Amino acid sequence: MNHRSTALWLLLTFVLLYSKIFGESGDRAFYDAVRAEASGDLQLARSIYEELAKNQHSANLHANLANLYFKLEDYGRSILHFRKSLLLNPENRESISNLSFAMEMSGVKKAESLKTNPAFSATAQFIWASCFTILLWGGFLLIALLVPRRLNSTTLTGYTLLWAGTLSFLAWGWQESREQFNFLRREVISVAIKSDGKNAPVPLRRFAGKGSNYNTMVNPGTSLFLDLDRSGNPRMHQGPDGEKWFLARSKDGANKGWITELEFGKIIEL
Amino acid sequence: METLFEPATITLSNSSIYKIIIHGSQESPVGSVPSVSGLQFSKTPRTFRSASFINGIPAVRFELSFEVKPQREGTFKLPAWNLRVGKQTCQAPSTTLRVLPPSQRDKVRQAEQKKRNQDLSEAAYLDFSITRPYMFEGETMEGQVSLNIWNRLPVTRIDRIPTKTGDGFSITELGQPVEKRNVPKNGKNYNSYNWKFGITAALPGIQSISFSSVLRVRVKQNRNSPLGNPFFSDPFFGFGSEEGLEVGSDPLTVEVRSLPTDSRPKGFAGAIGIFTLASAIDKDRVSLGDPVRLTCKIKGKGNFSAMPAPTVSLGEDFKVGPPAFSFDGSTSTLHQGVQSFEYVITPLRPGLLEIPPIPVSFFNPDNEVYTSLTSSPHPLRVDPGEKWMEPSSVEVSQSDEKSTSSANNMFQTESEPGEWVSSISIEDPLSSKMFWGAQAVGLLLFLSVLFFRLKNRNPLMEELKLKDRVLSNKLRETVKHKDRAGFYKSLRRRIRLRASMVCPGANPSALSNKELLALLKARGYSQNLLDEISKLLQICEDHEYAGGVKNTDSLESELSRSQSIIRKLK
């Protein structure tokens, strides 16, 4: 066995051990949190789940965390984690119904993003893009290979139209899915600052400062969409105290205002 | 006008005829016989009209005859009374009837009559019974009436089923009876018809109830039968006629008690009996506005027909529709079974709601106490659905405690972590290296193929291929137009063209068939293929130059055969 093979085996062993240790520690912490919750120590369970969620995620982790927040009557964070859970496992009926109930308890109307066709969801964008790519270059290759051959003009026109039509459909599906993706990456869930109370309404301020009065208040758990700047990043203002403010608005744009980074939670990581 | 009793003297057990004779008219008189204490006149008189000649003079008369039955001994004087004949008012003269004590013969006859009546009453009679000698007002219990008919009595049909007499009770409709044959009673064999029914006491106090029925019996027409009563005369060969025989039961006296007012529950609505209560809902999870069927079942014995639906008050969370009644049990008595009340309730707000217990109170007639029952509550989860009303803050605060307690049942903890991922993010394909890598690979492949094809491009070969395609189309057209000469001409040209394609540099059009085949042989083609090509070329030349060569093969088969040969030339 030469040096190269030895180094390769060592690297593989390290990767396997790391993944094993990493996965087991996540499982262990999860079980600890479940035990803490079962024993009635909801705060401890919450802190374990939150700590765990900083490094890794699973649909059940976020569902449990959402349930826990609901039991602690923090409906905004409950809705946020249900949304995360559903992003990882969109078919979980229990999470869907629990989310509806949490939204009802928080007095939040169902977001449009929850009503989209799964075929055009943000997560389906990669499938649309892959299909489009395969068909596009596959078609070009076929044309390059077959055109000088025996195809007559009628057959060639028919195949070309079929190819172009399918490509157009895939492009449309991709565009629809991409639109949802753009909404999702801008979407945040409003949560109450703990000092204001578990379910205190979140103010959308006129200016990026705590002294500013507000345009409107939204209930915790409301879907808001961050404004983006020209470079595609969220429009942000950093105050003299280092607090970051973001301009957010409702999906229809009727309600808008500045909120701090503590007053919302992102569904996906940008 | 004259009046008389005929006979004027009778014994107490006999009857007399009171006759009114009107001379000179045949019109029916109008008037009423005065009543005399101790005498009973028949209601319908017999009439008799007659006309005759007496000494050559025509005479008419009209007779009215009433049967008179004495009720006691003595001398009875019927006073003069007025009656109207046509437009004339006449006076009926007074007359006297003497009633003597019954003779020995009368007494014997009366004893026989009594015995016959006794026999008659035993020939067919009604029995009526209930389970308890007293009832409570509004209580329903099961009753039974039996019609017993001596099997020697020639009954043709039951003309009228037993009907109740007595306003203090109401009964359910009598249906089909249960028939029993040859039931021995009183030393005779009877056919017995039994009806079961529900009897409900309507009025408090001492009440009497009896039943009567009418049978149709075939009797002999001869009323002077030596057997006496016509009902016991055996009719032969249908020479008798049918008569109605009324059969009754002995009246039954029942004490109907009022319900006690002490400790009467507030929700008591008149249910009397012994019941159990159960309730169910058809689904425990609905969307807002969807109906839920709440079925309340009361099972047992009692006055189901008089039982009102339980009062269901579900508060402001639900809208309750009127109940639908259904009874499953003894439909003839409505006394024992299961009474179902189905309510359609509509939740008015989303959340974890609870359908509260339904109370039912009833009076138990056996131990004479009131009993109250309640059904179990039903949790109901109401999802907001597509259209839902935003709950007001007041409603939320009111249901806060209830919802939180129920939420523990709803938000259940997963015990397994599931599949781990390192981050919740959706990669944008447009900013993915893999995506652009795939585009680059695709483009590279396309350009490579294009380059390869351009590099290997041979104008002479492409021209030949084009010619080959033109000839192939031409062959098809000749087949289509059945142009045999044109077909073989084009086929010969195509074979030579293919030979020039497989042998670049040679000029097959300038070669003879033998030279062409030698060229192809030099290229390594099999002898079989060369033989087939040789045959084809020979046929083509025969058609082109010799003309008139008869070939029975169809052009289509020739085309397919030649194409399969030409394809091998590559």
DSSP string for B287-301: ETT--EEEEEEEEEE
Tens digit of pLDDT for each residue in A110-167? 655 556 777 888 888 889 999 999 999 999 988 888 766 666 678 778 888 999 999 9
Report the distance separating Cα B180 and Cα B191, nearest Å.
6
Whether A88 sits inside 8 A of B424 (CB atoms) is yes
Q: What percent of chain B is predicted at pLDDT more than 70?
A: 91
User: Which of A87-91, B282-286, B453-457 comes out lowest in average pLDDT?
Assistant: B453-457
Mean pLDDT, range B505-526, rounded to an integer:
82
Do residues B147 and B212 make contact, with C-beta atoms less than 8 angstroms apart? Answer: no
Mean pLDDT, range B426-435, rounded to an integer:
86
Q: What does the domain layout of chain B look like in residue ranges?
A: 2-102, 111-256, 273-387, 459-567
Range with the largest mean pLDDT of B85-89, B288-292, B298-302, B345-349: B298-302
Report the distance separating Cα A257 and Cα B494, nearest Å.
81
Give how far A260 is from chain B: nearest CA, Å. 22
Of A30, A105, A141, the CB nearest to B449: A141
Q: Which amino acid is at B377?
A: P
Whether A133 sits inside 8 A of B442 (CB atoms) is yes
Do residues B87 and B30 make contact, with C-beta atoms less than 8 angstroms apart? Answer: no
Do residues B526 and B542 make contact, with C-beta atoms less than 8 angstroms apart? Answer: no
Q: Where are the alpha helices (DSSP H) in chain A?
A: 3-38, 42-52, 59-71, 75-88, 93-106, 125-146, 153-186
Whole-number pLDDT of residue A23: 54
B353, B395, B412, B420: which to substitute to probe chain A, counting the most A Cβ within 10 Å? B420
Whether B414 sits inside 8 A of A60 (CB atoms) is yes
For B438, the closest chain A residue by CA position comes to A133
For B426, the closest chain A residue by CA position comes to A123
Report the distance separating Cα A147 and Cα B443, nearest Å.
17
Q: Which amino acid is at B46?
A: R
Tens digit of pLDDT for each residue in B1-25? 889 999 999 988 888 999 999 888 8
Residue A69 has phi, psi (to 5 degrees) of -65, -35
For chain A, state the CA radius of gyration.
Answer: 24
B288, B413, B469, B570: which to substitute to probe chain A, counting the most A Cβ within 10 Å? B413
* Domain B111-256, architecture per CATH: Sandwich (2.60)
Query: Which residue is listed with tokens 């029914």?
Result: B197
Which class would CATH give B273-387?
Answer: mainly beta
Of A60, A107, A133, the CB nearest to B391: A107
Q: In 3D, which of B293, B326, B292, B296 has the Cα closest to residue B311?
A: B296
Does pLDDT of B157 surpass 90?
no
Torsion of CA B332, B333, B336, B337, to 10 degrees: 30
Report how far apart, in Å, the C-alpha atoms of A127 and of each of A86, A140, B94, B435 are. 19, 20, 126, 11
For chain B, state the CA radius of gyration.
Answer: 58
Give how far B441 is from chain A: nearest CA, Å. 9
Whole-number pLDDT of residue B402: 45
Mean pLDDT, range B291-312, rounded to an integer:
85
Does pLDDT of B568 surpass 90?
no
Whole-number pLDDT of residue B552: 66
Does pLDDT of B303 surpass 50?
yes
Tens digit of pLDDT for each residue in A189-219? 999 887 767 788 888 888 878 777 788 888 8
Report the distance separating Cα B95 and Cα A49, nearest Å.
124
Which class would CATH give B2-102?
Answer: mainly beta
Cβ-based contacts of B407 with chain A (< 8 Å): 70-71, 101
Give how far A216 is from chain B: nearest CA, Å. 18
Which two tokens mark B141?
Answer: 């219990």
A44, A46, A58: which to substitute to probe chain B, counting the most B Cβ within 10 Å? A58
Report the distance separating Cα B28 and Cα B134, nearest Å.
56
Neighbours of B45 (CB within 10 A): 17
